[in-house]
Structures are given as structure tokens and as C-alpha cells.
Amino acid sequence: MISAIFPLSTSERDAFVRVTLAEDMGVGGDVTSNAVIPADARFHAVMATREPIVVAGIELAAAFMSALAPAEVHVKVKDGDAVPADTILLEAIGNGRALLTAERSALNTLQHLSGIATLTRKYVDAIEGTGAILLDTRKTTPGLRLLEKYATRMGRAENHRLRLDDGVMIKDNHVAIAGGIAKAIQAARSAGLTLPVQVECDSLMQVHEALHAGADRLLLDNMSPDQLREAVELVAGRIPTEASGGVRLDTIRAIAESGVTYVSVGRITQSAPAVDVGLDFRAL
């Protein structure tokens, strides 16, 4: 029995699988498998890693394997597990044509989400012991945000805003149109919003202004570690601080050591490479 996964309900999961398979199958279906593989052939499929990974999306991969015909699917790991190369992730026994047709969709989904989880875990490990918390961003693939943010959680990051209605984020363009940080914050409060107000700051002067105007949280954008330390000292623990902008794996440790509460990284969803996972078949 395949369980629903966060953040998709069972119906949402089934819809995702259905749409993804339809995209791959087109109008004529898997013409190669239908021509070459006997209709009653049964296969044993084994999905295994070819490199160390952090798993994300295994239940979705399993759902693909039984989507086109009933199949006996055995999941061997769980999302969030860090596993070495040559780890068996799942096994499936079922109709050969159906398993072959679903192969690429299952692998694409698992490889992409596990790639995000694997890269995320590297960033989390890089700041271990600093006290800073890794956040994801809204830099996600259109239509896949829920799944990609789920994958960052499997990598042990925390989720930032899921959508534009999750929190007030006053950025440089808002400030420019409103006529200043204080006016932008006041406009947000006057609109009757009860959501926390976060303000993007790229200088200590803006940090001063945002604090004085009553911001609930600061986004310290593209500041050096020295500038971040100054900003953290200025804030003095009154509100959370978040470092953001151009953060890389080789720079995140120094950024986190500045004392910020959070470090947000767009690369973990925007630039994560797919991991290497294989799916091998044998006829029964």
C-alpha cells in the first residue's frame, strides 16, 4: 500500500503521476515496449543508487511503478535517508510493458527530488554547529514547488515562504515605489495585514531604518560576513535575521558564523543536479 506523502494528498499524488505519464506517453503510448515486449510478460524491476544520495520522492517513484497495471512494489528506504552507492531503493514485480513505460517518469522524479535533498544536506552539514538554520526560497521549478520544498525538508532545511500570501516581504522595488522602508512598513500595517513583516536590507542604514519602523524580521541581502556581523550586533537579538544572496557551498560557513538566525539558499532548488539512480529489469 503506497501512503500519501507531504505535501501531496493521495488524490494530488495520483493526479501528478497521471499527468506526468500522459506527457511521456503521448497519444500512441510506449510504441517500442508494445512492439517488442509480449503483452503477458512479467518483469522484476530493481531501482538502486549509483552514488551516495539523500532520498526524496521514493513513494512517488513507487506510485509510478504501479500506475499503469497492478504491481507488487516493495520500498526499501524512506525519504530523508542518506544511503551509499549500490543501495536498493525499491523492487517491483508486474507487467513488463507497464513497468518499462513508467520507468523514465519514476526515475526523473526521484532523481530530481533526491538531487535537491542531497545538495541541501551538504549545505546543512557545512553550517553544522554555527546555530544558523538553512532555508529554501521561492526559486523553484514552476508547478513543482510543493515537491521541491518537500525535498529540501528531506535534506534537513526549513521552508521559507511557500507562496506570496505566506508572509509580507518588503523588497527593494516595494521600497522604491513606497518612498522608503518606513513608508512601506506603514503601508503594510495600514492594509490590515496580520502577517509578520520581513524587510530586505542591503546596508546598515537600511537595517537602522527597518528596526526603527518596526520590522518583524530582516533579510540581509548580499552582505559580506563582516557586514553581517555588524548587522547582527545592531539587531542585538530583537528580531530574526536572514542572510541571503549568492550563497554558495564554499561561502556558507563564514556567512553562518556571522551570527545570523537563518541563511537562505536558492541554489538548493534552482541548481541541484539530478542524482544517479538506475532501474534494471529481468524477465520472470
Locate 135 and state its grid cell.
Answer: 532555508
d(CA 85, CA 50): 5
Q: Whose CA is closest to 135, among 60, 198, 83?
A: 198
Catalytic residue among 18, 50, 78, 171: 171
What one-character DSSP code corresponds to residue 250? T
Find the catalytic residue in 103, 136, 200, 209. Answer: 200
Host H or E run for residue 45: strand 42-49
Strands 71-75 and 217-221: unpaired
Active-site choice (42, 139, 145, 253): 139
128 within 8 A of 121, measured Cβ to Cβ? no
| 24 classed as catalytic | no
Give burial (CB, 10 Å; 0-12/13-18/19+) of 218.
Answer: buried
Annotated catalytic residue 200:
yes
CA 178 to CA 205: how far, in whole Å? 17
Chain position carrying cell 539558499: 265
Instruction: Give me the catalytic one of 42, 104, 183, 253.
Output: 104
Is 50 annotated as catalytic?
no
Cell of 134: 538553512
| 78 is annotated as an active-site residue | no
Neighbours of 2 (CB within 10 A): 18
Active-site residue, selected from the candidate residues 79, 148, 221, 242: 221
In the annotation, is 128 catalytic? no
Residues designated catalytic: 104, 139, 171, 200, 221
